[in-house]
């Protein structure tokens, strides 16, 4: 007869399955997948709204676009983990990845990643050939241009990596409207300009780890003062970009400009701060809120155009 303790306690198999799920989510970088799906959905939804296409009658495009994009990003992230398994043990935030611990072996990771990318591309192709093309561009820019080429060799690696991060909204838009409008490119440019200040702030917090791993991030190679100037420059580049989406109305333009002014104010404070790491943390948190608020606002304001 079982007692209460035996019934409520979790056995080794439960813990093993939980650990397996966590390792799998770490392998595909679920946080990156989720954040990119937000921008993909924004591209999809705005394309529906701007073209007057029925959202309800085209749920298949939504499904193909989101699931397909999620799969190619997950597959690309797994390939990135595979490529970086020699340097990941050096950095605290990556040393527990399953490709480092050996939980997932290289052949299995490669098979899984390629399977995800192929299935994802087929789903995007079902939406439109243009969506599939932009999907391939995203995979190539992240896996080849960033992970295999620039990440370990060039201080411009963050800018190169920003290409892949800016492509998901184009994939979403192309699933609905293959001929991308200026509004679609506005999403691309916003995401492209947002990423350097976001990742430079993160790199400042991880400078010692990146240096130990031999990754030439801007703060490692050029120092904090130069990094702050670059952050300021990229934040200034964001100012005109909301006006490419003037079709969303004056309310969106005011919000976008207010967010940019807030980020500019924090950027300028960096030149007087006595605690660079605390400032970098504030900048990093602001950048996350900036992206979330701006893209959710795009969806909301597009409903009323």
pLDDT, residue 8, reads 39
Assessment of whether the complete model's pTM goes beyond 0.85 = yes
Region of 214 please: left (phi>0), alpha (psi -120 to 50) or beta. left
Q: Calculate mean pLDDT across residues 20-32.
A: 94
pLDDT, residue 93, reads 83
pLDDT, residue 7, reads 36
- What's the pLDDT tens digit per position in 98-143? 999 998 999 999 999 999 999 999 999 999 999 999 999 999 999 9
Report whether pLDDT(33) > 50: yes
Residue 16's pLDDT band (boundaries 50, 70, 90)? low
Report whether pLDDT(182) > 90: yes
Comparing 3-12, 44-53, 126-135, 244-253, which segment has the lowest mean pLDDT? 3-12
pLDDT, residue 15, reads 56
Comparing 86-90, 135-139, 140-144, 228-232, which segment has the lowest mean pLDDT? 86-90
- % of the chain with per-residue pLDDT over 90: 89
More confident residue, 17 or 291: 291
Q: Calculate mean pLDDT across residues 58-80.
A: 97
CA–CA gap between residue 54 and residue 300 (Å, rounded): 16
Q: Calculate mean pLDDT across residues 42-57.
A: 94
* Cα Rg of the chain, angstroms: 21
Q: Calculate mean pLDDT across residues 75-79.
A: 98
Here the tokens at position 129 are 């050939």
pLDDT, residue 92, reads 85
pLDDT, residue 14, reads 53
- What's the pLDDT tens digit per position in 156-172? 999 999 999 999 999 99
Residue 305's pLDDT band (boundaries 50, 70, 90)? confident
Q: Calculate mean pLDDT across residues 208-220.
A: 96
Report whether pLDDT(4) > 60: no
pLDDT, residue 200, reads 98
More confident residue, 103 or 288: 288
Residue 94's pLDDT band (boundaries 50, 70, 90)? confident
């Amino acid at each position: 007869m079982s007692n209460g303790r035996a019934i409520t306690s979790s056995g080794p198999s439960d813990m093993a399955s939980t650990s397996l799920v966590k390792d799998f989510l770490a392998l595909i970088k679920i946080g990156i997948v989720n954040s990119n799906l937000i921008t993909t959905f924004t591209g999809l939804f705005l394309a529906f709204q701007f073209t007057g296409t029925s959202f309800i009658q085209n749920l298949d495009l939504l499904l193909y676009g989101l699931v397909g994009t999620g799969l190619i990003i997950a597959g690309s992230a797994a390939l990135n983990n595979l490529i970086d398994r020699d340097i990941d043990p050096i950095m605290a935030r990556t040393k527990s990845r399953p490709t480092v611990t050996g939980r997932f072996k290289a052949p299995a990771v490669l098979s899984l990643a390629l399977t995800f990318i192929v299935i994802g591309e087929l789903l995007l192709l079902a939406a439109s050939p243009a969506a599939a093309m932009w999907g391939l561009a995203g995979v190539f820019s992240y896996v080849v241009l960033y992970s295999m080429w620039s990440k370990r060799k060039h201080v411009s690696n963050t800018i190169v990596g920003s290409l892949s991060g800016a492509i998901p909204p184009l994939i979403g838009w192309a699933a609905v409207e293959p001929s991308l409008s200026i509004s679609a490119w506005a999403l691309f440019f916003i995401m492209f300009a947002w990423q350097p200040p976001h990742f430079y702030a993160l790199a400042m917090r991880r400078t010692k780890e990146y240096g130990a791993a031999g990754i030439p991030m801007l703060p490692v190679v050029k120092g904090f003062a130069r990094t702050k100037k670059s952050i300021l420059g990229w934040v200034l580049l964001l100012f005109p970009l909301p006006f490419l989406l003037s079709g969303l109305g004056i309310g969106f333009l005011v919000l976008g400009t207010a967010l940019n002014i807030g980020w500019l104010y924090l950027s300028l404070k960096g030149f007087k701060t006595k605690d660079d790491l605390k400032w970098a943390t504030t900048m990093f948190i602001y950048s996350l809120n900036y992206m979330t608020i701006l893209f959710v606002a795009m969806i909301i304001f597009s409903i009323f155009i």
